[in-house]
Amino acid sequence: MRIAYFDTFSGISGDMTLGAFVSAGMPFDTLAAELAKLNLPGFELQARHLSRNGIHAVKVDVVVTEQPKYQRHLKDIETIIDAGSFSERVKSMAKRIFHEIAVAEAKVHNSTLEKVHFHEVGAIDSIVDIVGTAICLEHLHIDRVHSSPVRTGSGGTVRTEHGIMPIPTPATVEILKGYPTVLTDIPVELTTPTGAAIIKALSSGVITLERLRVESVGYGAGTKEIPQLPNLLRVIIGELEPSLDQDEVVTGETNIDDMNPEIFPHVIERLLAVGAYDAYVIPILMKKGRPGILLSVLTERRTLEQVLEVVFRETTTLGVRIQPTERRKVRRESRTVMTSFGPTKVKAVIYDGTERLLPEHEECRRIALERGIPLKDVYRILDRELQG
């Protein structure tokens, strides 16, 4: 699988993304020719080479000669994208990015998707950055996008059409909700709403790179010089070795020695109900020789707050240890196949080019109850049919 990995050690913006792709092998003339299909007057695409901390990079600028005299809404931008003679994939990616921005802007300004209007992000340069990113991904035959945790600045301010805003801006924070993010102490807008939306809309998550066979690396330069680090976005393009799917989840753990053990089954049931992937208990020996229980929960970062609420409401613990956990997993998907019991939901497990169909417990239980058959017999019959 061919992927683009966004290494956001100095954040991400739209122009940095275009520069990184040009640096990584996207022909600039091809990018400019494709962007001409937008049929938007009043802009010119320029690229130049520069050095940041000794690293060669490309700076792409959208030189705007004429901005629209009205504020664009999401529908206006989607119309512009649909009117261009792009592939459906390019159109879909670009509209997904703008949708992420629209949802965030509507939340921040207490508006709706239909009513919210764009200021900076609705300008010509942002439209070019976003559509240009989609063009690069298609031209370079990128199947999937991944990234590092997104780094943002903090402690400073930035001037916007809405006035002075804190860094990171409210829209950027809203867009990145649920995505691994690092808040630095650099008082500069490292990640813009456009950059955040590119990651949120297109990325399949954070990964490490030990399975990536690198083909090309590109560096896109931001506008400002930052004393603390080179203001660059690195894009690494290569083949991800087909093996196990990989993602990052969160593990929460707590030691409990003062709670009725009969309560733990209820706690685990509640944790699974709010979205935890797994929850279990392990007997442990605590300080002063006291017997206790280790409660461990595996969940997505986006459901962490709901998980913590259950733990603190339903147990006697006063604190939870939280740490990111890299997870490798065999690819699986749910399917419905025809068996002697009729249409039956099963789990398809794909590994190393082979596929196995496995019975789903809840489906087997449903069949057993409906037909009055022992559950073990349902498993035995389905095992034979699915592997035959």
Q: Are residues 325 and 335 in the same domain?
A: no
Count the alpha carbons within 13 Å of 148 in the hemisphere toward its beta carbon: 17
C-alpha–C-alpha distance, residues 36 and 17, integer Å: 18
DSSP-based three-state secondary structure for 319: coil
Q: Is the domain of 183 the same as that of 203?
A: yes
Which of the listed residues 243, 272, 291 is the one where a domain comes to its end? 243
Q: Is the peptide bond before 283 cis (omega within 30 degrees of 0)?
A: no
DSSP label of 111: -
- Helix (H) / strand (E) element for 195: namely helix 193-202
3-state secondary structure of 19: helix
Whether the Cβ atoms of residue 196 and residue 180 lie closer than 8 Å to each other: no
Enumerate residues 6+ apart whose C-beta is below 8 A from 179. 150, 199, 200, 203, 301
For 180-189, write each residue's pLDDT tens digit.
999 999 999 9
Based on the domain organization, do 171 and 88 belong to the same domain?
Answer: yes
Mean pLDDT over each residue of the chain, to the nearest integer: 90
- Cα distances from 193 to residues 129, 226, 233, 270, 301, in angstroms, run 12, 19, 15, 36, 21
Residues 369, 289 within the same domain: no
- Tokens representing 14 are 């739209």
Q: Give the model confidence (pLDDT) of 86-122 as tens digits.
A: 999 999 999 999 999 999 988 887 877 777 766 544 4
**pLDDT at residue 243, rounded to an integer:** 59
Laid out side by side, the sheet with 342-351 consists of: 331-339, 342-351, 354-359
- Residue 185 shares a structural domain with residue 304: no
105/153 same-domain check: yes
- Tell whether pTM > 0.75: no
Q: How many domains does the chain have?
A: 3
Do 335 and 295 fall within a single domain?
Answer: no
* Same domain? 63 vs 203: yes
Q: Residue for token digits 């087997």?
A: 364
In single-letter form, the type of residue at position 145 comes to: V
* In a shared domain, residues 234 and 253: no
Average pLDDT over residues 64-86: 84
CATH of the domain at 268: 3.30.70.1380
Residues 336 and 325 in one domain: no
Look up residue 149 and give its amino acid.
P
Q: Is there a single domain that holds both residue 129 and residue 201? A: yes
Tell me the average pLDDT across 320-330.
89
Question: What distance in Å separates the CA atoms of residue 181 and residue 11, rounded to the nearest whole number?
Answer: 10
Convert the pLDDT of each residue in 255-272 to its tens digit: 999 999 999 999 999 999
| 125 and 16 part of one domain | yes
Mean per-residue pLDDT, 147-176: 88
Examine the pLDDT at 159 and tell me if it is beyond 60: yes
**Helix (H) / strand (E) containing 235:** strand 232-240
- Note whether 282 and 308 are within 8 A (CB): no
What pLDDT, on a 0 to 100 scale, did the predictor assign at position 10? 96
* Residues 190 and 6 sit within 8 Å (Cβ to Cβ): no
Residue where one domain finishes, among candidates 186, 209, 243: 243
Residue 305: which domain range?
Answer: 247-329
Q: In the listed set 279, 303, 329, which residue is the last one of a domain according to the structure?
A: 329
Inter-residue contact 171 to 111 (CB < 8 Å): no
pLDDT band of 332, cuts 50, 70, 90:
confident
**For residue 290, which phi and psi values (nearest 5 degrees)?**
-75, 135
pLDDT digits (tens, 9 = 90+) for 278-297: 999 999 999 888 999 999 99
- The contacts of residue 108 (CB under 8 Å, 6+ apart) are 170, 171, 174
Is residue 167 a contact partner of residue 188, using CB atoms and an 8 Å limit? yes
Residue 352: predicted pLDDT: 63
